[in-house]
Amino acid sequence: EKTTENEEPVKLAELQPGHQIVIYKKTNKSDVSEVVTEKYTSWKEGKLVLRNDPMNEVVKRIGRWYNVEITLKDKELESYRYRATFEDESFSEVLNLLKLTSPIDYVEHKREMLRDGTFTKKKITLFLKPGYEGKVK
């Protein structure tokens, strides 16, 4: 333990390689877990790495990577797990790969022009392909 200027004790934690810590502000508790560090550091090499990630996390990461708003229409898709590494693929290539390798299809929404002449962010909705209802794990 160390103390701060106001003499309140502060606990120190030392992380081992391949681990991450999550600190919960409300409860002041923390969890240390083992992680695939490649997922968190690969951006430095221009790679988007997904390793058995749930689809709700996949769409967040792809959306941030390509500056696109992606929503999941079917709740059943949220827990679908996906594994991929994208390096030089365009956004449309990534969408097509998702469509080819999973029970997912998508709709691209038309961008709207705002009053100032700029356009809204590109929006995509992912949905479960017909016939896969109740079959996604």
Task: Give the tens place of pLDDT for each residue, 46-79.
Answer: 899 999 899 999 999 999 999 999 999 999 999 8
Element (H, E) at 59: helix 55-66
pLDDT of amino acid 19: 82
24 in Cβ contact with 30 (< 8 Å):
yes
Max mean pLDDT among 1-15, 39-53, 116-130 falls in 116-130
pLDDT of amino acid 14: 82
End-to-end CA gap in the chain: 45
Q: Into how many domains does the chain fold?
A: 2
Give the domain range for residue 63: 38-128
Residues 58, 121 share a domain: yes
pTM of the full structure = 0.73
- Asked, for residue 133, whether it belongs to a domain, the answer is no
- Asked, for residue 134, whether it belongs to a domain, the answer is no
pLDDT of amino acid 6: 63
Residues 46, 8 share a domain: no
* CB contact burial 21-48 (16+ within 10 A = b; e otherwise): eeeeeeeeeeeeeeeeeebeebeeeeeb
The pLDDT confidence band at residue 3, using thresholds 50, 70 and 90, is low
Residue 137 has pLDDT above 90, yes or no: no
Average pLDDT of the segment spanning 91-116: 94
